[in-house]
């Protein structure tokens, strides 16, 4: 509230006095600094939070992620715990993204086109910026306009593998603009690094033959991060 009313000193004081800072409060403070022209201070806060690991997944974010995973399972005609069992453990991480304004946005990109290597990602967007996240739909880039109080759920590569192509990982990118700073918070949920990922046998049939080879998730991650972001090239390395 202080930030929206241009009361930056009061907003900073309230944030500083918080005993437990989480992703929500940190995101609000960074957004407030940016909205009040304090981009340098916003960057300093962002880097401090990242280095100190202040923003971490909480019990609530784990519960939410597992509930979403259960809904994915049910939509495939499986028991709600089928995909969680197939994950063989869990790996959960959060990341805060900061995109400063660019005087010539057509000459750069905030984040290159890629599909997330994990199971799925829950994303909180910046509602002040209407065109930041874009996805490929029918061969064209389509902006995903943020809705107040709503999250975006991006399907990742491992969900495409486990579902035998029933679900498709989302190729997406981040663009910048010339007027406003944009921030976002991404919560990544996927298998444990030592998990053996094999598509679910229940989803293989004569009309839906197996599409993917088995893999170890940690090896898949290493391969993904060792190469440049290149659309959906990573998942093709495990396709038959």
Does residue 130 share a domain with residue 46?
A: no
**pLDDT for position 6:** 46
- 66: Cα separation from own chain's centroid: 15
Residue 220 belongs to some domain of the structure: yes
How far is it between the farthest Cα atoms of the chain? 65
State the alpha helices, DSSP H only, in 56-147. 59-75, 82-87
Mean per-residue pLDDT of the chain = 84
Has residue 1 been placed in a domain? no
Buried b / exposed e across 209-220, counting CB within 10 Å, b at 16+?
Answer: eebbeebebeeb
| The two three-digit tokens of residue 219, written as one number | 């090896």
| pLDDT at site 24 | 63
Sign of the Cα pseudo-torsion (8, 9, 10, 12, in order): positive
pTM: 0.77
How would residue 129 be classed by pLDDT, with cut points 50, 70 and 90? Answer: confident
- What pLDDT does residue 94 have? 77
* Res. 222: pLDDT tops 80: yes
Mean per-residue pLDDT, 50-60? 54
Domain identity same for 35 and 71 = no
Tell whether the model's pLDDT for residue 22 goes beyond 90.
no
Task: Specify whether the CB–CB gap between 122 and 239 falls below 8 A.
Answer: no
For residues 153-167, average pLDDT: 97
CB 118 within 8 A of CB 190: yes
178 with 225, same domain? Answer: yes
Is residue 46 domain-shared with residue 64, that is, in the same domain? no
Residues 160 and 93 in one domain: yes
Residue 23 structural domain: 8-52
> What does the radius of gyration of the chain's CA atoms come to, in whole angstroms?
19
Q: Using an 8 Å Cβ cutoff, are 177 and 101 in contact?
A: yes
Residues 196, 101 share a domain: yes
How far CA 165 is from CA of 155, 208, 230, in Å, comes to 12, 9, 19
On whether both 47 and 140 belong to a single domain, the answer is no
Model confidence at 9, pLDDT cuts 50, 70, 90, reads: confident
Strand 172-174: give its sheet, edge to edge.
111-114, 172-174, 133-137, 140-143
Residue 46 lies inside a defined structural domain of this protein: yes
């Amino acid at each position: 509230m202080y930030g929206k009313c241009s009361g930056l000193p009061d907003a900073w004081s309230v944030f500083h006095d918080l005993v437990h800072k989480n992703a929500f409060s940190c995101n609000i403070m960074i957004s407030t600094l940016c909205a009040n022209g304090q981009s340098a201070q916003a960057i300093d806060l962002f880097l401090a939070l990242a280095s100190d690991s202040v923003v971490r997944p909480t019990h609530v974010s784990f519960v939410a992620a597992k509930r979403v995973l259960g809904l994915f399972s049910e939509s495939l005609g499986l028991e709600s715990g089928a995909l969680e069992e197939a994950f063989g453990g869990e790996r959960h991480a959060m990341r805060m993204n900061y995109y400063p304004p660019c005087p010539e946005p057509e000459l750069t990109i905030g984040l290159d086109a890629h599909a997330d290597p994990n199971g799925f990602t829950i994303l909180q967007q910046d509602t002040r910026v209407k065109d930041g996240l874009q996805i490929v739909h029918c061969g064209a880039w389509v902006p995903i306009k943020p809705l107040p109080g709503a999250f975006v759920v991006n399907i990742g590569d491992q969900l495409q593998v486990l579902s035998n192509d029933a679900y498709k990982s989302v190729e997406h990118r981040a663009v910048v603009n010339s007027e406003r700073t944009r921030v976002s918070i991404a919560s990544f949920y996927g298998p444990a690094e030592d998990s053996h990922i094999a598509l679910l046998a229940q989803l293989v049939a004569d009309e839906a033959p197996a599409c993917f080879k088995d893999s170890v998730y940690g090896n898949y991650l290493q391969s993904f991060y060792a190469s440049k972001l290149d659309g959906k090239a990573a998942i093709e390395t495990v396709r038959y």
